[in-house]
Structure 1
Amino acid sequence: MGDDNTSAPGDRPTDGSPPVSSLEDLKGKLVSEAMDPHGCEFLHQKLRERKLEDQMIFSEVKGHISMLMLSRLGSDLLQKLYKVLDEEQMKQLVSSATADVRLLVDVCLDSQGSESMQEFIGRMTPMQIFHMISFFTYFMVPLVNHQFGSRVIGRCFNIFPAPADETEPIVAVIADNCLEIAKDKNGSCLLQVIMSKVSIPNSHGRQRILSAITLGAAKLSMDQFGNRVLQHVIGLEMPFVVSSIVDQLEGWFSFLAKDKYASNVVKQLMEASEGKYSSQIANRIIRSPNFLSVLVDPYGYSLSNPQRHTLTKSFARLWIV
């Protein structure tokens, strides 16, 4: 890469001039050379030598970090560069990466860019990550609901203990858009990770997410991906939350038991808290005009033997009374 008359480092030019052996020969062309196999290897060599030339490489590439992240070779160079930079230089790289927010998002949504960004985040200080997260919040839903973007956000959570002030802005935006995220394939997976990480009762963000999931229990239970989030929350075995979900689904159980996705939620609720709500849910189902249709429905019939036994026992008691 680079100008047509410039050879790659280490190659002998066709005009018979000596090969490039100094960074000075590449001044102003380091970014294009970083994305060329020969040029990238030459720059790696210079970084391994740990000379004053490190500063020259840093100075030229810092304004083009997003472009380099989108290139495999450019990303390889950045990983080597991170190892020789001090905190102030890393701070400058973070500022450069966030100078264009839309380009930042494009990097996160790219396969190569996502991997590069995760590596970059892993090299940052907590304050630098907080700075980066503040920019992510403007496009949080598109990031979270994307195959590669969700990995970048997940990387932020994997770094910190739960809960952490640094990730609170992410949790706040996710809480505001919880149902939309929970019903997305990628978003639902990340939401479950977050709920597992943010597991301390006094986390304000966690309480907001739990509240949103509980209030939207009926819609989530019938959704292809939302039902998984709801089951995950039920599986956390928080008595108040499980009780609230049962209350939210009051009057819906006979209908939900026949739904492809919601039937799984009904099963888990009947098993939750050591079967505490099993009889209550069974009573709601058998008192429904649609009770018999539940027993013959493919999904209603899929209730496990203990759950079906609870239904038939409750039905028998109803007739005895």
Structure 2
Amino acid sequence: MLRLSEEDREMEFLENQIFNATTTLAQRNCLLHLYHRQQRHQNKYNHRCWSSSSSSSSTSSSASFNDECIPSTDASSSSPSFLLWEKFQALELCDANGADLCLPFPYHSSHARRIPAPVFDASLAFALALSYNEDHQLNVMSRVSKYNQLNGIDVVDGDGEDSFILQGSDLHLHYVANANPGGMCFAAPILDRQESKCLANLRGCIYFVAKNQQGCRFLQRKFDERRAEDIEMIFEELVGHIAELMVNPFANYLMQKLFDVCTEDQRRRVVRMLTAHPFQLVRLSLNNHGTRAVQRLVETLTTHQQIQAVVDVLRPGYRILIKDLNGHHVILRCLQCLAIDYNKHIFAAAADHCVEIASDQHGCCVLQRCLLYSDGRYQANLIMQIVDNGFHLAQHPFGNYAVQFVMDMKNPVADRKLMNRFNGNYVHLSTNKFGSNVVEKCLKMWEDARDSIILELLSASHFDILLQDQYGNYVIQSALVNSKGCVHNTLIEAIRPYEPVLRTNPYCKKIFSRPCFKR
């Protein structure tokens, strides 16, 4: 008498349902999934030995559902693996090698990430080829694409990265891949790698291939070959997805190369696509992948119409972009690659929000480049905005760099106005971490004002505190280096009385170690 456990009864029930004449193909595949999952839970793909009380000393030959073998073809086998295999052949669901099973539709590629399966399950064997090897993904897509041309199988985007759904009538496995009787998973259907070398085999699937790391590299190599027909084919399949692909971790590199190799007409279509929606290009510029693609786009613009269209859609977002980690790189690229007239609105935005931008880590960099790339009234306006707020900015962690940049420009008008802003405030600035850097710059750059600055420092009510200040002591050292003549001697004599007390002070050591204080 045959003894069946509760698990065996469940397996038997599933088997009966699988081979029920009223079960549809789609239902049968679902039941197979349940069957495999239950079997894996029960014995980790090891064969189940069905023992009979009348033959307790004999052991039936069996085959396991594992990565290494397929069900035994020994006719004497009575294992459930072989029995199930025989039934499959009887129903003409597969041939002896399991190569002709049909895929249920719609079929989602992510199934393979959830459900391992024996080799005779063609739908899952097909999926495994997509999941375990990215090269296989490319090749399988190639075969599916070729079959599409004859049978109308549709490939649509899935709900995850490198995921897709096949829709249409039944697709036979041998149209997709050569079945591998040796197993599945890493040994899943062996595909002809030569197929992927022909771009035509990927027709209809290039959008999906572009989002795959290996597929993206393959397409980039096609661009490197500079064959007009290949570029045209890739472009036509991707042009409707340009914005999406520009922010993809892999495809953004393909988009950058596409902007390099496309024709003027194609570039015009790209620009029209990206500028059709307000703020779309701004959104792409704020993305850590999209910013690279937008920068390359700016670099490759060739006509006035293209440049003006891009500038017009970026303009409302200038203030945001200038201060953004990713977006400010796009602004810098515009400053580098476009003529001053196209960048005038960037200069205007920087001047209108000067303090806000100069006080930002990324905005400060952009502001300095605006000063560098502008000229005439645009540059003069920027300089005056910085100078008017010079005292405030000089004390700011980032703003002080903008002030020093203006000083490096050696603009006489700007220098005089900055002197007026700083007069009477040099002691205060000298004790500020960032302002002290500006005062040192003043002592170095402004030869005409140097003596008056030093005399103002000497007139401090508590000069000894300035000497001991963690920032002020650097200003005094700079004054000793840059001063000359009477003012230099006056400074030395003002410092000398404090030597006995302050020589050992950690902030004064460098002051008193100078040659002028050595006896």
Q: TM-score, normalised by structure 2?
A: 0.53
The residue number in structure 2 matching 1:281 is 453
The residue number in structure 1 matching 2:380 is 207
Q: Secondary structure at the match of 2:396?
A: coil
Q: Structure 1 residues 263, 44: CA separation in 2 closer, same or farther (over 3 Å shift)? A: closer
Instruction: Answer yes or no: is 1:16 the counterpart of 2:162.
Output: no
The residue number in structure 2 matching 1:35 is 211
Shift of 1:124: 1.0
Q: Structure 1 residues 306, 88: CA separation in 2 closer, same or farther (over 3 Å shift)? A: same
Instruction: Answer yes or no: is 1:242 the counterpart of 2:415.
Output: yes
- 1:107 and 1:114 in contact (8 A); partners too: yes
Q: Distance in 2 between matches of 1:16 and 1:139?
A: 53
Number of matched residues?
309
2:281 corresponds, among 104, 108, 118, to 104
Q: Which amino acid aligns with 2:456?
A: R
The residue number in structure 2 matching 1:144 is 322
For CA contacts below 8 A with separation 6 or more, give which structure has more relative contact order: 1
Shift of 1:38: 5.2
2:479 corresponds, among 303, 307, 311, to 307
Shift of 1:220: 0.3
Deviates more, 1:65-74 or 1:212-221: 65-74
Q: Which amino acid aligns with 2:400?
A: N
Name stretches of at least 5 consecutive residues in structure 2 with no aligned partner: 1-106, 110-125, 131-136, 145-171, 177-194, 495-519
1:85 corresponds, among 250, 253, 262, to 262
Shift of 1:49: 6.7
Q: Structure 1 residues 25, 255: CA separation in 2 closer, same or farther (over 3 Å shift)? A: closer
Q: TM-score, normalised by structure 1?
A: 0.83
Q: Which amino acid aligns with 1:118?
A: Q
The residue number in structure 1 matching 2:248 is 71
Q: Which amino acid aligns with 1:238?
A: N
Deviates more, 1:42-51 or 1:166-175: 42-51
The residue number in structure 2 matching 1:180 is 356
Q: Structure 1 residues 38, 289: CA separation in 2 closer, same or farther (over 3 Å shift)? A: closer
After superposition, where does 1:216-255 map in structure 2 within 5 Å? 216-255=389-428
Q: Distance in 2 between matches of 1:60 and 1:89?
A: 12
1:259 corresponds, among 429, 432, 442, to 432
Instruction: Answer yes or no: is 1:271 the counterpart of 2:449.
Output: no
Deviates more, 1:3-12 or 1:166-175: 3-12
Instruction: Answer yes or no: is 1:158 the counterpart of 2:362.
Output: no
Shift of 1:240: 1.4
Shift of 1:46: 5.8
Q: Give per-residue Cα distances to partners, 1:182-226, cap 9 Å, x unaligned.
A: 11111112222222232x4xx221111101100000110110010
Q: Structure 1 residues 288, 266: CA separation in 2 closer, same or farther (over 3 Å shift)? A: same
Deviates more, 1:40-49 or 1:81-90: 40-49
Q: Give per-residue Cα distances to partners, 1:1-57, cap 9 Å, x unaligned.
A: x97499854335681115686658643x54233212454356456654735464443
- 1:144 and 1:186 in contact (8 A); partners too: yes
Identity of aligned residues (%): 25
- 1:10 and 1:42 in contact (8 A); partners too: no
Q: Which amino acid aligns with 1:15?
A: L
Q: Give per-residue Cα distances to partners, 1:143-188, cap 9 Å, x unaligned.
A: 1112221111111122246xx2121121111111111111111111
Q: Secondary structure at the match of 2:139?
A: coil
Q: Distance in 2 between matches of 1:182 and 1:97?
A: 30
The residue number in structure 2 matching 1:167 is 343
Q: Distance in 1 between matches of 2:230 and 2:493?
A: 85
Q: Which amino acid aligns with 2:334?
A: C
The residue number in structure 2 matching 1:293 is 465
Shift of 1:316: 7.6
Shift of 1:314: 7.1
Q: Give per-residue Cα distances to partners, 1:64-97, cap 9 Å, x unaligned.
A: 2121111243223323433442223212211222
- Greater gyration radius: 2
RMSD: 3.1
Name stretches of at least 5 consecutive residues in structure 1 with no aligned partner: none
Q: Distance in 1 between matches of 2:303 and 2:431?
A: 48
